[in-house]
Amino acid sequence: MAEGNEKFELEMPKVGIIKGVLARDIEIVGDKSVSLRTSARPYRNVYTAAQLRTIKSVVEKYGSGKVHLTARHNLEIPEIGQKNVDRALRELYSAGLFPGGAGTSVRNIFTCPDWCSKGIRPVQEIGGMISKNFGDLDMPNKVTISFAGCSNGCSRPHNCDIGIIAVGKTAVSADRCPDGCAACLGVCRFEAIEKIDGMVALNGNCADCCKCAEACPHGRLTVGVTGFRVFIGGKEGSTVRFGVKYADFADDFEILEIVDRVLNHYRENARLRDGSSRKKERLAEVIDRLGIESFLP
């Protein structure tokens, strides 16, 4: 954005690409209108009241009064007249909203809200770090990254190119449980808890979700060491697949290293899809072709 008294200008070439705005961020619809996809930077799925008021103003003045919230919480404004795109962008910029979130790049980083009571470990800050370092990075094909603060996975980490889920080790007290208490047994879906003579023990079925600790009313089970479990190679679309586990109990800085390593290996190994002269493989397809061991030795 211009500083001082300089005039804010954006140029619209004939092909419909605005200067400083990548083609993937603006969809040309016919000859007269565009769909503009925007979100906050660094990418996050929380918008302020002021930003939402700006969106309302832009869609009413320059669009058709409609706005679409995409699956990754970008805001898509359809039917903006091309002559008004520069004005719309200027108003969006002033509210901290920028074009992005589409095309062959690292797309909007998806995270849980930081006020959810179910979270084992907060994910908004680390999600912002990933966004700052890797958001909008050009890739062979689109790359989605999602963070979940607990095993509920509301942010769909299992079906993303890189999915990161907070996990925790349940710490078990040596004290006996009060007679008749079975709260932990009632919430465990993995049959991971054994209770003998009032004493609780965890077996090999434990998924590190810590729901038993959350349910324990007497403090016999608590959340111990926490970290992140990382899955890679998931995807949605016409063919859906779950990611494969790559790392366990990684800390924040390890997550940065893992994401960097995965993206670099993906760029180095991706090739054109069979039968295509333009479109390259998704991360899942590269892993399928090479095998997980060869992809990340």
**Radius of gyration for the alpha carbons in the chain, expressed in angstroms and rounded:** 23
Beta strand 162-172 with 145-148 is: parallel
CA dihedral sign, ordered 134, 135, 136, 142 = positive
User: In order of start, what are the domains of the chain with their CATH numbers?
Assistant: 23-99 (3.30.70.3340), 124-168+225-295 (3.30.413.10)
Helix residue spans in the chain (DSSP H): 49-61, 85-94, 124-134, 183-187, 211-215, 252-269, 283-290, 292-295
| CA atoms of 234 and 246, how far apart (whole Å) | 12
Please answer whether residues 1 and 8 qualify as being in contact, where contact means their C-beta atoms are separated by less than 8 angstroms: yes
102: which residues sit within 8 A by CB, 6+ positions away? 24, 25, 27, 37, 74
Beta bridge partners of 230: 164, 247
Q: Which helix (H) or strand (E) holds 194?
A: strand 193-196
Measured distance CA(129)–CA(33) in Å, rounded: 35
Count of positions (residues) in the chain: 297
pTM of the model: 0.84
CA angle 293-128-121, nearest 5°? 75
pLDDT at 8: 53
User: CA triplet 45, 139, 67: central angle to 5 degrees?
Assistant: 35
Predicted local distance difference test score (pLDDT) of residue 142: 92
Pull the structure tokens for residue 136. Answer: 């909008």
How is residue 55 written in tokens?
Answer: 């969106």
- What pLDDT was estimated at residue 40? 82
User: Of 46, 134, 27, 48, whose CA–CA distance to 95 is shortest?
Assistant: 48
Cα dihedral 297, 124, 206, 258 in deg (nearest 10) = 10
58-59-64 Cα angle (round to 5): 145
Quick one: pLDDT at residue 18? 44
The string of DSSP codes covering 145-161 is EEEESSTT-TT-GGGSS
What does the pLDDT profile of the chain (297 residues) look like in tens digits?
A: 445 555 555 544 333 444 445 555 566 655 556 777 788 877 777 889 999 999 999 999 998 899 988 888 888 888 888 788 888 888 998 898 888 767 788 988 889 888 888 899 999 999 999 999 998 889 999 999 999 999 999 999 999 999 999 999 999 998 888 888 989 999 999 999 998 888 889 999 999 999 999 999 999 999 999 999 999 999 988 888 999 999 999 999 999 999 999 999 999 999 999 888 889 999 999 999 999 989 886
**Cβ contact 44:111 at 8 Å:** yes
